[in-house]
Structure 1
Amino acid sequence: MVELIRHIPTNVITGFLGVGKTTAVLHLLKHKPATERWAVLVNEFGQIGIDGQILEQDGVAIKELPGGCMCCAAGVSVQVGINALLANSRPDRLLIEPTGIGHPKQIIKQLTQPPFDQTLAMRACITLIDPRHLDNPRYRENEYYREQLDIADVLVANKVDQCDDAQLAAFAQLVETRQPGASGQVSHGQLQLAWLDLPHARRQDSGRSLVHARAAPEAGTQIETVQLEAGESWRRLENRSGEFAGCGWLFAEQLRFDYPKINSLLTAMSAERIKASLRTDQGDYLFNSIEGDMQVSPRETPPQNRIEIIMQGDPDWDKVEDALLSCLI
């Protein structure tokens, strides 16, 4: 007889686009107790999905829910996805990384009601912010950003090594105003493991929650990471949430990019967010750009060729695709 899975300690790690959520989750996974098995549910805005590849490592089960906010997805599909992850891995802890432009209040509500209320034991919701953006109305007035602050049991300033004294003082003032259960300042997503076991005690019923800006899949739709069909060399998928437009490409694994060309193209591209895991003529690389700040790092394990780009407005994705194709060898 299979033992029922009940009350798995669960944490939501949230924050706006580019704040360093995936880096923070990766740090937690590298420092988890050696005797524990953890699972991670990654909910990406893009349809293609890249973060799952970044987080893969021994002793960790990964499940991707690409294609936008998980609370916009068909409820049955999300339930099936979480249940499958838990049944297959039977973890000691579940970490959930929602998209930075999702609906965090609705996600917390979804996870604390049936059918999840008996399976998951919610612990602290950790919200990361970049103090450099606290004086920017584009962030401060964004409702996704404000909801992320509303649900924070632990409020963490990330990238403090890049902040000046005034920005750190602004974060201290935010903590005093918001009064989260705990707070901290870190660089490179170095969250404290002890924060994970703090209680989830923030109220979720105050204020207005965001209205879904995109159509949800029909009930029963299965949400899976995209794969190429036989004979396909690449596939492109688009989506949108409010002011943000996303487009992703999956290229066949045998294809290679010209490294100088693709590096120059992605570095020069004006976008809110770029993530790419690519095979090139000079090796395998992860490209990670936040508002034009590109970071490139080698990959030890061969990646699938995947690119996700998020822009504001109405981008000319045909033009972007032509530029990407011109970088293939």
Structure 2
Amino acid sequence: MKLITPSHAIPVHIISGFLGAGKTTLLKHLLSQKPEGEVWAVLMNEFGQIGVDQQLLPQDQGYAVKELLGGCLCCSSQMPMQMALSRLLSETQPDRLFIEPTGLGHPAQLLEQLTEPHWQPHLNMRALVTVIDGSRLHDSDWSKQNLYADQLKAAQIVTVSHVDVMTDADKLALFALQKEYRPYQQIWLNLPIEELTLTDVDLAFTGTSRKIQPLLQIQRNLSSTEAMPEIKQLPYHYVETAQGYSVAGWKMPKRWVFDFYDLLDVLCEQKNWLRIKGIFNTNAGWKSFNFNPEQFNYQSAEESIDNRLEIIYQQSKEWLEFESQLMNCRVDDTK
């Protein structure tokens, strides 16, 4: 399908958030601020096969709403999303576009798709907004899920819904959450949704640069003339930079098993970091680690889809020695 778009790149807003956080409520409120004479478009994604949210949005002249049903446009095959978005842009020629992925989606993956060279002449990405339900922040089983954390980490702007019914426990949890994510220098909007304006969220997308590479031990064995292997599966190492901070990360297969006490020693011995977060399959069961300079927290965790570790830092660092120590903690038979 040939893509026909206006002569300029249109502003695009991604409104993400976990299930029931209030994404559609925020979207309806933003749509109500459309200037007369403009055409705004909405691409919504429902995980199931029956769309409901589309019926909740304005159907008046000046709005074009399209739903993509079944699966997740963030992480499933890109083709349905590419076709739906191309058709929406070609048919409606919108002045502004809003995208609401399913609450089960990973917005960072959607951002990766929409910032590819193919889309750059057509889409002017704005700050990614993640909505969190302030009334559920006291529930750690809810807020500590990997998907919840992935959505929050991807956010450039975080807006808190249901602030009028937050308990003292919710407020304390919000303070702790803001402190935890301070290295990402996000903008937190704690206003009621009905008081937010388009200006509050219409900020330029600053982006996060992620460089995915083979494990450092593999890189060390490559000659200077060899091309870096393309990474399509675990394990891999990545470096992510944003707002003056860097994250060194590792994702490894879930079948890898690590000695718990050896791993704990390696993590505790690190220096000059701002935060260490990880989840590992250990010989003592699945364990999560959440270190900050004031507190080293670790606890039993639910089974994860992989072993993963992230270290936030500001100073440049060579990670090969650390990775070697990390790999030496493995105790599985396939080592």
Q: TM-score, normalization: structure 2? A: 0.57
- 1:36 is matched with which residue? 38
Q: Which has the higher contact order (CA 8 A, sep 6+)?
A: 1
Equivalent residue for 1:80, pick from 67, 79, 83: 83
Q: Where does the alignment leave 5 or more consecutive residues of structure 1 unmatched?
A: 212-329
Q: 1:72 to 1:177 in 2, by over 3 A?
A: closer
Cα shift at 1:202: 4.3
SS at match of 2:178: helix
Cα shift at 1:82: 0.3
Q: 1:122 to 1:3 in 2, by over 3 A?
A: closer
> Counterpart of 1:37 in structure 2: which amino acid?
V
- 2:321 is matched with which residue? none
Kindly indicate whether residue 57 of structure 2 is the aligned counterpart of residue 55 of structure 1: yes
CA contact (8 A) 1:20 1:189 kept: no
Deviations 1:53-76 (A, max 9, x none): 111322111010111210344322
Kindly indicate whether residue 99 of structure 2 is the aligned counterpart of residue 96 of structure 1: yes
Give percent identity, aligned residues only: 41
Kindly indicate whether residue 168 of structure 2 is the aligned counterpart of residue 165 of structure 1: yes
- 1:186 is matched with which residue? 191
Q: 1:66 to 1:190 in 2, by over 3 A?
A: farther
Equivalent residue for 2:128, pick from 120, 125, 129: 125
Q: 1:189 to 1:14 in 2, by over 3 A?
A: farther
* In 2: Cα distance, 1:110 partner to 1:3 partner: 18
Q: How many correspondences in the alignment?
A: 210
SS at match of 1:62: strand
* In 2: Cα distance, 1:23 partner to 1:3 partner: 28
* In 1: Cα distance, 2:181 partner to 2:37 partner: 36
Q: 1:35 to 1:172 in 2, by over 3 A?
A: farther
- 2:67 is matched with which residue? 64
SS at match of 2:112: helix
Equivalent residue for 1:200, pick from 199, 205, 221: 205
Q: 1:130 to 1:46 in 2, by over 3 A?
A: same
Larger CA Rg, structure 1 vs 2: 2
> Counterpart of 1:182 in structure 2: which amino acid?
I
Q: 1:204 to 1:162 in 2, by over 3 A?
A: farther
Q: 1:70 to 1:197 in 2, by over 3 A?
A: same
SS at match of 1:146: helix
Cα shift at 1:133: 2.5
* In 2: Cα distance, 1:162 partner to 1:208 partner: 39
Which range is displaced more, 20-29 or 167-176?
A: 167-176
- 1:237 is matched with which residue? none
Cα shift at 1:191: 3.2
SS at match of 2:103: coil
- 2:282 is matched with which residue? none
CA contact (8 A) 2:138 2:169 kept: no
SS at match of 1:36: coil
Kindly indicate whether residue 119 of structure 2 is the aligned counterpart of residue 113 of structure 1: no
CA contact (8 A) 1:24 1:190 kept: no
CA contact (8 A) 1:44 1:64 kept: yes
* In 1: Cα distance, 2:130 partner to 2:47 partner: 18
Q: 1:166 to 1:192 in 2, by over 3 A?
A: farther
SS at match of 2:42: strand
- 2:13 is matched with which residue? 11
